[in-house]
Amino acid sequence: MNDNRVAFIGAGNMARCVIAAMLKAGYPKENIMAANRSQPKLTELAADFGIQTSLSNATAANWADVIVFAVKPQMMQDVCAQLLAEAPECVEKLLVTLAAGLPVSRYEEWLGQIRLVRAMPNTPSLVGLGVTGLYPSRCSNYEKAFVDHLFSGTGMNVWLEAEQQINHVIAVTGSAPAYFFYFMQAMQQKAEQLGFSAADAKAMVAQTALGAATMALQSPQSFAELRAQVTSKGGTTHEAVSSFHAAGLEEMVATAMQAAIDRAEEMAKHI
C-alpha cells in the first residue's frame, strides 16, 4: 500500500499534520508530494520531512496516484477548476478532501463523477493522537482500506455511514482541540494571576490535561465517575465544579458544538 504516490494540494497546517502522521506510521517520504501556491511552507516541509514539493498543483496531481485536497473550503472550486483544465486525468484517481463544509455533491458539480473520501482529521494528528472521521463515496474496498492506512498514523479512524456525520465529527473532534486549548488558556491566565510563571503555568495545566485524558482512555469508568473521585464531600473541587455548573457549562458546550455544526451546514450552502 505504501507504493501509492500521494500528493497534497495545499501545504498548510492540516497537510503538515497528516504528512507527519503518515511518516511516523512508516509511509515512504519519496511517495509524498506537497503543492502550494507559495514557496515558504514547501521549503519548511521539505526541510522538516524530506518530502517532494512543487509550486504547481497540476505537476503534483499528475505525479500522484492519490490526491489529497488540503486547501481552505473557499479555495476548493478554483483548485478543482484548475486541475480539471491542467491535469484532467485527476478525475480518474482516488481523491481525498480534508475540507469542512463541502459535500460530495459539490465536488461532483466541479469534477463530475469521482471516487472521493471526505476526511476530517484534527491537529493532534501531528503527534499521532488525533481522530479522523472518514466518509467514502463511490470507493472500492481496496481504496477504503488504503485511506484507512493513510490516516492510521493520525491516531484513530472513525468510518461514517452518512455524510452528514462529518459535520458531527467536526463538532466532536475536528474543531475540539481549540475548545480544550481555550479552556487551558483560561486556566493558565488564572494560574499566572496566582503568581506562577507563564512557563510553569502552561506546563502544569497541560500536564493535568494529559493526565486526565490518559486516565479517561485507560479506565472503563465514565467521565462522571472519574470526576467524582476528585470531588471530596464539602471540599474544594465541589466548589469549583458547582461554580461551572451554575454558570451553565453543559449548555454552553452543547451550544458551541451545535454552532460548529450549523456553520458547516451554512458553508455547504454558500460555497
Ligand X SMILES: NC(=O)C1=CN([C@@H]2O[C@H](COP(=O)(O)OP(=O)(O)OC[C@H]3O[C@@H](n4cnc5c(N)ncnc54)[C@H](O)[C@@H]3O)[C@@H](O)[C@H]2O)C=CC1
Ligand Y SMILES: O=C(O)[C@@H]1CCC=N1
Is residue 174 a contact point for ligand Y (CB under 6 A)?
Answer: yes
In the complex, minimum distance from the CB of residue 170 to ligand X, in angstroms, rounded to a whole number: 7
| Contacting range for ligand Y; rule: CB under 6 A; set: 37-45, 75-83, 87-95, 167-175 | 167-175
Least Cα distance to 131 among 165, 106, 84, 102 occurs for 165
Q: Name the binder of 218 from ligand X, ligand Y, none, CB < 5-8 A by kind.
A: none
Q: Is 269 exposed, middle or buried (0-12, 13-18, 19+ CB in 10 A)?
A: exposed
Q: Kindly list the distances between the CA atom of residue 251 and the CA atoms of 187, 225, 262, in Å, as whole numbers in the listed order.
A: 20, 20, 16
**Subset of 47-106 contacting ligand Y (CB under 6 A):** 100
In the complex, minimum distance from the CB of residue 173 to ligand X, in angstroms, rounded to a whole number: 9
Report the C-alpha gap between 264 and 201 in whole angstroms. 34
Report the C-alpha gap between 74 and 146 in whole angstroms. 28
- Phi, psi of 38, rounded to the nearest 5 degrees: -135, 160
Amino acid (one-letter) located at 220: P
Instruction: Kindly determine how many residues on this chain lie close enough to bind ligand Y according to the rule CB under 6 A.
Output: 4
Q: Name the binder of 11 from ligand Y, ligand X, none, CB < 5-8 A by kind.
A: ligand X
Query: For ligand Y, which is the closer residue by CB, 10 or 174?
Result: 174
> Out of 175, 188, 201, 268, which residue is the one contacting ligand Y (CB under 6 A)?
175
In the complex, minimum distance from the CB of residue 262 to ligand X, in angstroms, rounded to a whole number: 15
In the complex, minimum distance from the CB of residue 106 to ligand X, in angstroms, rounded to a whole number: 12
Q: Name the binder of 169 from ligand X, ligand Y, none, CB < 5-8 A by kind.
A: none
Q: Are 231 and 244 in contact (CB under 8 A)?
A: no
The residues that touch ligand Y, with contacts defined as CB under 6 A, are 100, 170, 174-175
